[in-house]
Amino acid sequence: MASSKYPIPTQLFIKDKLVDSHSPERYSLYNPVDESLFCDKVQYAAAEDVEAAVEAAVAAFNGPWRTYSGAQRGEVLQKLAVLLEEYKEELGWLDGTPIGKPVSAATMEIEFGASILRYYAGWTDKYAGESFPADDGFVKIVRHEPLGVTVGINPWNGPIGTLCLKLGPALATGNVMIIKPSEKTPFGTVRFAELATRAGIVPPGVIQALPGAGATGALLSSHMKVRKVSFTGSVATGRRIQQAASNSNMKRVTLELGGKSPSAVFDDCNFENAVFWSTLAITQNSGQACFAASRLFVQESIADKFIAAFAQAMKEASNKLGDPTKPETQLGPLADSSQFARVSSFFQQDAGQTKVLVGGKQHGERGFYWEPTILLNPKEDALVYREEIFGPVVCVKTFKDEADFIRMANDTEFGLMAGVFTQDINRAMRLSAELDSGVVGINCVSYINIQAPFGGTKQSGVGREMGHYALRCFTEPKTVLIK
């Protein structure tokens, strides 16, 4: 194992200390830049560890944390935001190195996470209930009460950012949270939970970290004392979590799942703007983003001109691939060998029958780098066109008119993100209503904002994150009737 820039927390964080897993097994992570060993002592939480963490969470929820006022919880979130910023270099290194995330992107993600916590700090004493007049002889009062022990099951592509999207509204509304980071990026979460508790920012048991793979997530999803699971990841895993929640205690779930997001470029668009966003949408985080606009539709009348400009932009994006430790690097490798194998598999199947306009192969001879790729006019039943690839690969097709675009855009089981590039505001608003998507960008795409809800339709998910909508997902309304 190579020398570490910072100590690597390979253990679990339960209640108020780092502890060894009850399982003797240890796992390895490799740097995707050169396939060198990063750590071979990673621990996964076993059943006994899950039980200990849940009991600590129950005690914290029923104990000191329950006495915190809204204003005090707001102070906690503000302090957690400061903590993130203070340790952003360490946390970024711990989570970015195992997946080859550029240091610039890792730092930006943590700063975004801090802004999320500050946003929810402002909500803690402002999430009001309701009351209704006694015009029928009854005073009606509605209170929003915390659920109790909640669980955040997070992905590897944005570990700290996703942590904050779940932890912020959970703590703001008075819940406690056990976080299960991805087995690919466990270290930043464990370190953050340790720092927050040992600094006295939160009482022991309020924030805990249980690294693990699917088995650990299954234990948490089926636990009878867990009242809520918020999951970000694949459709297949989300389905299993929903089933486990239903089969156990009907715990609440929020599921932010996959996408195959469409984007339309009309002939009246701001040309340069459309090229910029279309490129960014499929190359940010090397295409490893659930909301990546991976199906690009271009109006026939400007197809040749736009596709040529887009192809040039994607070729230039390949020049941004490089060493993730260098500040100037914007694109890193795919996360690991399994992710590289997944992307490659599409080019061993039906993607090989589609014209590859740009890319379509490994970049360089070492590491898991993949060139930004454009596939032109794939068949509508092709796997590369219908399934989420999770790499810098975009399918480009042409369309005649609005109806043609809507038909193709909505012909999918996903509905997370969509984009429309046009300077006709009437068309933009008309299409935003017709698209089956949780988020629609006008003259932008693959962008989210903390003030507005984020989530998907169809198999892209259940529930919403961000904005005050996330607060609803972490509270239960209670009606009080007074005669």
The pLDDT tens digits for 23-67 are: 999 999 999 999 999 999 999 999 999 999 999 999 999 999 999
As a whole number, mean pLDDT of residues 188-214 equals: 98
Res. 239: pLDDT tops 70: yes
Residue 349 is predicted with a pLDDT of 75
Residue 353 is predicted with a pLDDT of 72
Res. 281: pLDDT tops 70: yes
Q: Quick one: fold of 262-442?
A: Aldehyde Dehydrogenase; Chain A, domain 2 (3.40.309)
Question: Confidence class of residue 447 from pLDDT cuts 50, 70 and 90?
Answer: very high
Residues 248-272 have pLDDT tens digits of: 999 999 999 999 999 999 999 999 9
Residue type for 292, please?
A: A
Rounded to whole angstroms, the Cα distance separating 391 from 340 reads 8
Residue 416 is predicted with a pLDDT of 98
Res. 1: pLDDT tops 80: no
Of 109, 194, 256, 371, the catalytic one is 256
Where does the chain hold its CATH 3.40.605.10 domain(s)? Answer: 12-257+461-482
Residues 289-324 have pLDDT tens digits of: 999 999 999 999 999 999 999 999 999 999 999 999
Residues 454-482 have pLDDT tens digits of: 999 999 999 999 999 999 999 999 999 99
As a whole number, mean pLDDT of residues 3-15 equals: 93
Across 120-129, 194-203, 351-360, least confident range: 351-360
Q: Going by DSSP bridges, is the β-strand pair 373-376/355-358 parallel, antiparallel, or unpaired?
A: antiparallel
Question: Confidence class of residue 107 from pLDDT cuts 50, 70 and 90?
Answer: very high
CATH class held by domain 12-257+461-482: alpha beta
Residues 91-102 have pLDDT tens digits of: 999 999 999 999
Where does the chain hold its CATH 3.40.309.10 domain(s)? Answer: 262-442
Average pLDDT, the chain: 96
Res. 352: pLDDT tops 80: no
Residues 64-87 have pLDDT tens digits of: 999 999 999 999 999 999 999 999
As a whole number, mean pLDDT of residues 1-5 equals: 67
Residue 350 is predicted with a pLDDT of 64
48 labelled catalytic: no
Percent of the chain at pLDDT > 70 equals 99
Rounded to whole angstroms, the Cα distance separating 434 from 414 reads 15
pTM above 0.75, yes or no: yes
As a whole number, mean pLDDT of residues 332-342 equals: 96
Percent of the chain at pLDDT > 90 equals 97
